[in-house]
C-alpha cells in the first residue's frame, strides 16, 4: 500500500522578507536607509519639530546661536532651524512630484516609441533631441521667467524638461525588450499595444528604471535647489534649502557656518539616495557581494 505525503509550503510574511533583506544589506545601503528615514521623519513631523513658523519673524536679524534659537536667525529675524526643517518638506516634496511627473511622461512616451516604432519613434526622438540640445538650467530659467515661479509651474517645467532624459533611457532599454521573441509572439496573437507595454515591456525594464529614478531624483533635487538659489525657484517666504544658502551667504564673511547647513542637507540627502540606489541595483542584478 503506497502512501503519499503532501508538502505544505508556508508563505513567508512580508516583514520577515524585509528583515532578511536588511540583514543582507551592505553597510552603505543601511546607512543610506537610515539617513532617508531621518529625512522622512523630519518631513512628516516638521510642524512639531520646528519651534517657530517658517515665515515668522521672532528676533533681530542675524541673531547668534542660542538656546532659544539653535541656529540663530536670518537677515529678517526668522528662526533658521525652523526654516531648515520646513525646507525639507518643501524642497523634497517638489522634487519628488517633479520626478514622478518626469517618469510618467518620459517613461510612457519612451515605451510607446519603442513598441510602435516607425514615424512615431522618429517624431518623438527628434523632438526630444531638440529639447535636449538646449542647456537644461538655461531652458528652465527661461521658462520660469515666462510662466512665473509658482509651485505648479516649477513642478511642470522641471518635470517636463527632465522627462526628455527619462525618455531616452526608457526607449533604449524598451527597444532591447521589444525585439524579443515573446513580444513578437504577443503581436502575432493580436495583443494591443497597451497590453504589450504593461505585461511584456514594463516588467522587464523595472530594474534600470528604478536606478534611473534614484539618479533622476538627485539631479532634479539639485536643479530645484539651484533655481531657488538663483531666485527663480520657490519664492519667499516659503523655506527652501537653495534659497537659504543665498539668503545667509554673507554670514560666511563673519566666519559663521550657517549658510553651509542647508548646503550640507542637500549633499547628505543626495549621497543617501545614491547609496540606496546602488544597493537595490546591485541586488536586482543578481550579482554576488
Q: Which of 166, 170, 177, 172 is nearest to 204 (CA)?
A: 177
Give the mean model confidence (pLDDT) for residues 28-43: 92
Beta bridge partners of 79: 73
Distance CA 96, CA 123 (A): 29
Instruction: Decide if pLDDT at 284 tops 70.
Output: no
Query: Contact at 8 Å (CB) between 42 and 56?
Result: no
Query: Contact at 8 Å (CB) between 195 and 186?
Result: yes
The mean pLDDT of the chain is: 86
Residue 105 grid coordinates: 511622461
Task: Name 140's Cβ contacts closer than 8 Å, sequence gap at least 6.
Answer: 157, 158, 161, 223, 227, 232
Which CA distances in Å does 210 have to 196, 202, 273?
A: 20, 11, 12
- Positive or negative CA dihedral for 214, 217, 223, 228? negative
Distance CA 246, CA 250 (A): 8
- What is the separation of C-alpha 141 from the centre of its chain, rounded to a whole number of angstroms? 20
Instruction: Decide if pLDDT at 128 tops 80.
Output: yes
Q: How confident is the model at residue 6 (pLDDT cuts 50, 70, 90)?
A: very low
Tell me the pLDDT tens digit for each residue of 200-234: 888 888 888 988 999 999 999 999 999 998 888 88
Instruction: Decide if pLDDT at 129 tops 70.
Output: yes
**How many Cα atoms are found within 13 Å in the side-chain-facing hemisphere of 75?**
12
Q: How confident is the model at residue 29 (pLDDT cuts 50, 70, 90)?
A: confident
Residue 286 grid coordinates: 543578481
pLDDT of residue 93: 92
pLDDT of residue 13: 65
Report the share of the chain in percent with pLDDT over 70.
90
Domain segments of the chain as ranges = 28-285
Tell me the pLDDT tens digit for each residue of 155-205: 999 999 999 999 999 999 999 988 888 888 888 888 888 888 888 888 888
**pTM as predicted:** 0.87
pLDDT of residue 18: 64
CATH annotation of 28-285: 1.10.3720.10
User: Which residue intervals of the chain are DSSP H helices?
Assistant: 14-23, 27-44, 46-49, 80-116, 118-132, 136-147, 151-178, 181-188, 193-196, 206-229, 241-247, 260-285
Instruction: Decide if pLDDT at 9 tops 50.
Output: no
pLDDT of residue 1: 44
Which CA distances in Å does 115 have to 93, 181, 194, 205?
A: 33, 13, 9, 13
Distance CA 111, CA 241 (A): 35
Amino acid at each position: 500500500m503506497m502512501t503519499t505525503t503532501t508538502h505544505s509550503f508556508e508563505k513567508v510574511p512580508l516583514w520577515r522578507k524585509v528583515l532578511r533583506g536588511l540583514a543582507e544589506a551592505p553597510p552603505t545601503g543601511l546607512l543610506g536607509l537610515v539617513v532617508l528615514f531621518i529625512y522622512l521623519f523630519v518631513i512628516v513631523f516638521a510642524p512639531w519639530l520646528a519651534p517657530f513658523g517658517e515665515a515668522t519673524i521672532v528676533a533681530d536679524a542675524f541673531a547668534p546661536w542660542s538656546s532659544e534659537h539653535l541656529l540663530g536667525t536670518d537677515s529678517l529675524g526668522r528662526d533658521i532651524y525652523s526654516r531648515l526643517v520646513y525646507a525639507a518638506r518643501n524642497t523634497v516634496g517638489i522634487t519628488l512630484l517633479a520626478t514622478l511627473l518626469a517618469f510618467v511622461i518620459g517613461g510612457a512616451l519612451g515605451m510607446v516609441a519603442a513598441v510602435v516604432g516607425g514615424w512615431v519613434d522618429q517624431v518623438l526622438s527628434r523632438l526630444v533631441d531638440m529639447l535636449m540640445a538646449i542647456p537644461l538650467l538655461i531652458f528652465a530659467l527661461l521658462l520660469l521667467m515666462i510662466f512665473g515661479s509658482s509651485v505648479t509651474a516649477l513642478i511642470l517645467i522641471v518635470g517636463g524638461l527632465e522627462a526628455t532624459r527619462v525618455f531616452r533611457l526608457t526607449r533604449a532599454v524598451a527597444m532591447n525588450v521589444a525585439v524579443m521573441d515573446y513580444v513578437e509572439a504577443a503581436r502575432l496573437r493580436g495583443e494591443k499595444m497597451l497590453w504589450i507595454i504593461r505585461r511584456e515591456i514594463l516588467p522587464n525594464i523595472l530594474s534600470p528604471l528604478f536606478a534611473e529614478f534614484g539618479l533622476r531624483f538627485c539631479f532634479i533635487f539639485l536643479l530645484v535647489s539651484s533655481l531657488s538659489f538663483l531666485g527663480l525657484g520657490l519664492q519667499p517666504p516659503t523655506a527652501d534649502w537653495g534659497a537659504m544658502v543665498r539668503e545667509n551667504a554673507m554670514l560666511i564673511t563673519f566666519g559663521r557656518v550657517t549658510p553651509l547647513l542647508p548646503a550640507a542637507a542637500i549633499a547628505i540627502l543626495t549621497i543617501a539616495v545614491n547609496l540606496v540606489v546602488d544597493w537595490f541595483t546591485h541586488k536586482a542584478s543578481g550579482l554576488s557581494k
